Amino acid sequence: MASTDKILFPSRFGIENKPMIDSDFPESARIALWFVLRRTVELNRTEGWVRIAEEILRLHRQKKSYEEHEAADLSFSILKELDWTKVYIFCERAYEKLLSPEIEHDFNGNPEVVCDLEKVRRDFESDINQLFGEETIVYRMKNGEFYRPSRLHSQKIASKAYTVLQDPRLNDARRHFSKARLFFEKAPEPDFPNSIKEAVSSMEAAVKQLFPSKLSNIEKVIINIKDAEGEAIPPTIVKGLLAPYRFRGAGHAVVHGGAKGGTANAAVAEWTLTVVAASIIYLRDIAQSHELDPLPF
């Protein structure tokens, strides 16, 4: 399974809040992509820089004469000029057309496959997904093709939630929310049930830290929350806040395998993440209304 199996450092600690990118392939990402290609070449998992350069030139619709030793630098320079949509096309083409098994030769010159094409492709895919995670690019690669784990508005709300989750009181909530995003974006096979569980755990942790209570039932805690003016949360909004919590208990294979409250598919998982993100922002606003000196987040 090709995936980024760890939560990246900025997400784990809420240090960075970069905007999500869906209509560009920034220069920093192009530089990182060149290094991914260089690793592939050094491991003899492609025919070399000439083939890479030819593919980039083809996409750029440019004919250029060059020496073999210039191919790596040429690839770098043209990659930086390439239209952003074509860089994504190049990545998919590289997966399909430019990769080859890693072969070593023994003392007698006999070839041995040390990494077959399937493993080479998985490793390349993992590098691409790691790169995209570092650059906050919204897309992920699965079986050589890019897909979008969630819609832009969902990602924008999640990005705003990460800003709120920098509140030191919400460290546990942030960790759960980061895990929820990781499970949702996991390539090539997202884990929607665990994404939902972690998202709801994030909201539970936020409620417990923002509104300490002797009540153990999260529903009762939310119902009893009041703002600085003594106003309770409107009943219709309470229902929205509790909806992810209730689905976690009723959804099939989320907590109970035999539950019949619906399937934890991509749409439901994205809805859960979006509602939880918006809920945490809303609940923290209420908590701050009680503070004379709000925390600077």
pLDDT of residue 294: 47
291, burial (CB in 10 Å: exposed 0-12, middle 13-18, buried 19+): exposed
Over residues 24-47, the mean pLDDT reads 97
Q: What percent of the chain has pLDDT over 70?
A: 86
Over residues 177-189, the mean pLDDT reads 81
156 has pLDDT over 70: yes
Question: How far is the C-alpha of 146 from the C-alpha of 88, rounded, in Å?
Answer: 8
pLDDT of residue 255: 53
- Determine contact, residues 264/193, Cβ cutoff 8 Å: yes
* DSSP E strand boundaries for 17-86: none
Compute φ and ψ for 290, nearest 5 degrees.
-90, -10
Task: Give tens-digit pLDDT for 65-119.
Answer: 999 999 999 999 999 999 999 999 999 999 999 999 999 988 888 999 999 999 9
- Determine contact, residues 244/127, Cβ cutoff 8 Å: no
Over residues 35-61, the mean pLDDT reads 97
Q: How many residues does the chain have?
A: 297
Nearest-CA neighbor of 55 among 23, 96, 27? 96
2 has pLDDT over 50: no
Q: Average pLDDT of the chain? A: 86
Task: Give tens-digit pLDDT for 222-250.
Answer: 999 988 888 889 999 999 999 998 887 66
Least confident stretch, 2-16, 22-36, 203-217: 2-16
Which two structure tokens, joined as six digits, stand for 73? 């630098």
Q: Could you identify the residue written with the tokens 């907590």?
A: 255
Nearest-CA neighbor of 121 among 98, 139, 103, 147? 98
- Determine contact, residues 162/20, Cβ cutoff 8 Å: no
* DSSP E strand boundaries for 34-164: 102-105, 111-115, 140-142, 145-147
Question: How far is the C-alpha of 242 from the C-alpha of 207, rounded, in Å?
Answer: 12
Q: What b/e readout covers 117-141, taking b as 16+ CB neighbours within 10 angstroms?
A: eeebbbbbbbbbbbbbbbbbbbbbb
Of the two residues 186 and 61, the one the predictor is more confident about is 61
Q: Rg of the chain's alpha carbons, rounded to an integer? A: 24
